[in-house]
Amino acid sequence: MGDIAAGLEPNLLFIAGTTLISIVILLFSYKIIFGNKKKEAVKDQAESDTGSPTEEQVRETATENRSSAKSKKRAPWKSKTEFAHPWLLKNLKGHPGTVLMVDFSANGKFMAATCDETVATVEDPTSAAARRRKPRDRRRPPPSPPSPSPQRLSTEELVEALRPHIISPKRMWALGYPLELEPNSSKAVVYINPPPRPRPPPLMTWDVNAPEFVPGGSQSDSGRGSWGSTPRSDSDEEADAVEHLCVRCDKMFRMTREGEYLVEEPCLYHWGRVSSDSRYACCSSFVGSRGCATARNHVWSGTRPGMNGPLEGFVRARSPRGGVYAIDAEMCYTTAGLELASIAVIAADGRLVYRSLVKPSSPVVDHNTRFSGIRPRDLARATKTLRDVQNDILGFVGTDTILIGHALDNDLRALKFLHSAVVDTCVLYPHARGFPLRRSLRALSAELLGRCVQRGSTGHSPLEDARAAMDLALLKVHQERANRPRLHHQLPILQPYDLLISAA
């Protein structure tokens, strides 16, 4: 029994050792197998947590970058993708918007898009934001076209409609139109009836520093009184100089017959009209106040109140040509008075027929740019003279041609043109207070045509004024044609009530 127990003891130790070694091997194998799987799982979890790209993602990203480099145009986003992972929130916390897309490059760098997509909204164009975003149009707005006529008239119909408005010779004489002095002559006469100008009563002022006046004069008299040291006769004065009335400041000045000023002094005047409250439109000063504008010299119009003539250099048409034209001219002041500087003629449909600059024959004193729009550089390039313009006008104006204009007497005097078939818008639309007051073309255009003319700082445009005069005449014609059917349908005029007639 002792031998058996001694033999079993090594076997048990061997079995126990073998079992222990097997258990250790099994545990080691289990640890190796399941440990690797756990590491791979942890690694996958870490990669998903950190968002680092895999090799396949890197290859796909590189392929997309190459394709995008070729197309140069990224496809639009199909939908928003919001990223809320802690790593993204930590690294992109400085971006204010929601992360829409993350793109990776081949070197591992990333690009995140965090701007929201813009939503197209309907915006009120009149809002302040829309006006700020809209680019300003620097182009000059196109000129307003003439007012459309309700019905197109032929030339014959227009002539017949305007024939009742042709001014009679007696009315032309009162308005200041040039009339022929003798048949088939180049001489004309003009009667000027100037409109009354409001003038304040003279104020009696005393100058305490004035020298004492002694009847009979003295050697120290400087000529301030009615007695001069070297009196001259009236014949000598008339032979040397001629007195003219300044049309701007109503002051008399003297010039030689050759057009030279005896005394050059500045002219202080108001260029605006006088309103109903006796104020000037230029500076709102009362009548009689000191002028607000200064000119270098006094100017005159070339005519005097009353009879003027005989005047030389006038022309007139000799044969009929028909047609209806509107004419407007701009003048400048010369030593001989007002002379033609620019002219424009249009047809009834607004088509420009003739336009030219005219070189004055006398030295220019004042270009009158505020009203005429003529500048020295304009007259410097003028090549035509008054005689050339007269010949051009006679090429399409005949004895039966109707000429339309506003205050056309001034234009015909400057053009030195005699014509009897004229229609003046001053007569078509008279002033409320009657003749000799006249309504301005600017007021008529604003009231009747809804058009602003003569508003620019560069002066008047003869083309614009001629079109305004033509449209005013056409407006008058269409108003009369519209009112004509109503007259036929009116009831007959009733006779006054009479008891005897009613009893019978």
403 is written with which tokens?
């000429």
Q: Is 228 left (phi over 0), alpha (psi -120 to 50) or beta?
A: beta
Q: Which of the 8 DSSP states describes residue 145? A: P
Which residue in 72, 144, 136, 167 sits closest to 425, CA to CA? Answer: 167
Whether domain 155-194+308-487 has CATH 3.40.50.10190: no
What does the domain layout of the chain look like in residue ranges? 80-114, 155-194+308-487, 235-304
The pTM of the full predicted model, rounded to 2 decimals, is 0.60
One-letter identity of residue 384: K
Averaged pLDDT score across all residues of the chain: 75
Query: What's the pLDDT score for residue 197?
Result: 60
pLDDT tens digits for range 237-283: 555 688 999 988 989 999 998 888 998 899 999 988 888 788 888 88
pLDDT band for position 327 (50/70/90)?
very high
DSSP bridge pairs for 366: 333
Kindly state the helix (H) or strand (E) to which residue 488 belongs, with its residue range.
Answer: helix 462-488
226 pLDDT higher than 50: no
Q: Which of the 8 DSSP states describes residue 342? A: E
- Residue that is written with structure tokens 């008279």 in the block: 430
Phi/psi of residue 417, nearest 5 degrees: -125, 130
217 pLDDT higher than 50: no
393 pLDDT higher than 90: yes
pLDDT band for position 221 (50/70/90)?
very low
Phi/psi of residue 355, nearest 5 degrees: -155, 135
**Looking at residues 165-172, what average pLDDT do you find?**
94
- Residue that is written with structure tokens 């003529």 in the block: 374
SS (H, E, C) 415-481: HCEECCCEEEHHHHCCCCCCCCCCCCHHHHHHHHHCCCCCCCCCCCCHHHHHHHHHHHHHHHHHHHH
Query: What's the pLDDT score for residue 371?
Result: 84
Round to whole Å and give the CA distance between 457 and 286: 24
pLDDT band for position 122 (50/70/90)?
very low
pLDDT band for position 63 (50/70/90)?
low
Kindly state the helix (H) or strand (E) to which residue 327 belongs, with its residue range.
Answer: strand 324-334
Kindly state the helix (H) or strand (E) to which residue 411 belongs, with its residue range.
Answer: helix 408-415
pLDDT band for position 76 (50/70/90)?
low
pLDDT band for position 83 (50/70/90)?
low
- Of 24-33, 181-190, 346-355, 474-483, the poorest mean pLDDT is in 24-33
CB 364 within 8 A of CB 379: yes
SS (H, E, C) 107-118: CCCEEEECCCCC
Ordered DSSP codes for 296-310: SS----S--SEEEEE
Residue 4 vs residue 325, higher pLDDT:
325
pLDDT tens digits for range 141-155: 555 555 444 467 888
Query: What's the pLDDT score for residue 354?
Result: 96
DSSP bridge pairs for 352: 346
Residue 148 vs residue 317, higher pLDDT:
317
Burial of residue 190 (number of CB atoms within 10 Å: 0-12, 13-18, 19+): buried
Query: What's the pLDDT score for residue 288?
Result: 84
Query: What's the pLDDT score for residue 336?
Result: 92
pLDDT tens digits for range 291-316: 899 999 999 999 988 899 899 999 99
Percent of the chain predicted with pLDDT > 70: 61
366 pLDDT higher than 60: yes
459 pLDDT higher than 80: no
Query: What's the pLDDT score for residue 401?
Result: 96
Query: What's the pLDDT score for residue 123?
Result: 43
CA 141-146-152 angle, 5° bins: 145
- Residue that is written with structure tokens 């040509």 in the block: 321
Residue 492 vs residue 311, higher pLDDT:
311
What are the start-end ranges of the H helices in 253-385?
Answer: 369-372, 376-380
pLDDT tens digits for range 394-422: 999 999 999 999 999 999 999 999 999 99
**Looking at residues 81-91, what average pLDDT do you find?**
59
Helix, strand, or coil (residue 337):
strand
Q: Which of the 8 DSSP states describes residue 252? A: E
Instruction: Please give the torsion angle defined by the CA atoms of residues 448, 450, 453 and 455, in that order, rounded to the nearest 10 degrees.
Output: 130
Distances in Å between the Cα of 107 and the Cα atoms of 63, 74, 343, 469 are 13, 20, 79, 80
Query: What's the pLDDT score for residue 264?
Result: 86
134 pLDDT higher than 90: no
333 pLDDT higher than 70: yes
Ordered DSSP codes for 14-52: HHHHHHHHHHHHHHHHHHHHHHHHHHHHHHHHHHHHHT-
Residue 143 vs residue 286, higher pLDDT:
286
Round to whole Å and give the CA distance between 287 and 273: 10
- Of 128-132, 220-224, 355-359, the poorest mean pLDDT is in 220-224
Helix, strand, or coil (residue 346):
strand
132 is written with which tokens?
């700020």
CA 399-425-366 angle, 5° bins: 90
Query: What's the pLDDT score for residue 61?
Result: 56
7 is written with which tokens?
């033999």
Query: What's the pLDDT score for residue 32?
Result: 80
pLDDT band for position 287 (50/70/90)?
confident
- Residue that is written with structure tokens 């500076």 in the block: 283
